[in-house]
Amino acid sequence: MGEPTAGLDGLEGGAPLRRRPQQARSRARLARVLQAAERVLVEEGVEALTTTRVAAEAKVSIGSLYQYLPDRDAIIDALAAGYFTKLESVMDGFAESAAAQRWEDPVGVLVDAFAALYRSEHGFRALWFGSGLTERTRAADREHKRRMADGLRRVLLALGVADGESLARACHAAVLAADALSQEAFRRDAEGDAGILEEAKVMLRGYLAAIVERDRGR
């Protein structure tokens, strides 16, 4: 099992901290708390993410934790924000490099890359496959998928796809489908069910090709 990777990534974007650390020492303490929370999440499950348990794992006082994360919902939301930021950063990197690399199979590149992230991000899987998602996290996930869809659209534009009127909607639908299939693949197998991931590629290639042809004919 890989080491937990949670930190301060994503928290500047609006994760529900009671207050934001300003000094380097305070930021380091909060990063330590989030890393401890991820260890608890991976090893014991989302139900164990109590403020008392996380404070003990991080070796900080409960009062110190309460300065930033007032309850379990806030811990979950903060962890999720970090995972979203990491995934979006990877997509942004692909959007920047797509034109220069001229991939023959962009769907294969993207599915393989994000499957690799699923394999390494044990905390992300533990959070998504658990039953403790908050309403705030679910709402943030919907916005996250819209940003991922925009990233996919930018990848396709960089590869020379025309920006048709339905491309943004199609990319959103593709992201939703890819997310559902990826979750199923990793529920079946911790390494990702290879058959499901391959079927995801086939489906997404066909769907995106059909969208390109449809817009070209208008």
pLDDT given for residue 12 in this prediction: 44
Residue intervals in the chain for CATH 1.10.357: 80-216
Given a cut of 70, whether residue 2 has pLDDT beyond it is no
Residue 38 — very low, low, confident or very high, per pLDDT cuts 50/70/90?
very high
pLDDT given for residue 99 in this prediction: 78
Of 1 and 76, the one with more pLDDT: 76
pLDDT given for residue 27 in this prediction: 81
Of 12 and 174, the one with more pLDDT: 174
What's the whole-number average pLDDT of the chain?
A: 86
* 11, 17 Cβ separation under 8 angstroms: yes
Of 12 and 55, the one with more pLDDT: 55
Instruction: Give the CATH number of domain 80-216.
Output: 1.10.357
Tens digit of pLDDT for each residue in 106-148?
Answer: 999 999 999 999 999 889 888 888 777 899 999 999 999 999 9
- Domain 11-66 coded CATH 1.10.10.60: yes
Of 13 and 93, the one with more pLDDT: 93
Residue 1 — very low, low, confident or very high, per pLDDT cuts 50/70/90?
very low
Residue 21 — very low, low, confident or very high, per pLDDT cuts 50/70/90?
low
Residue intervals in the chain for CATH 1.10.10.60: 11-66
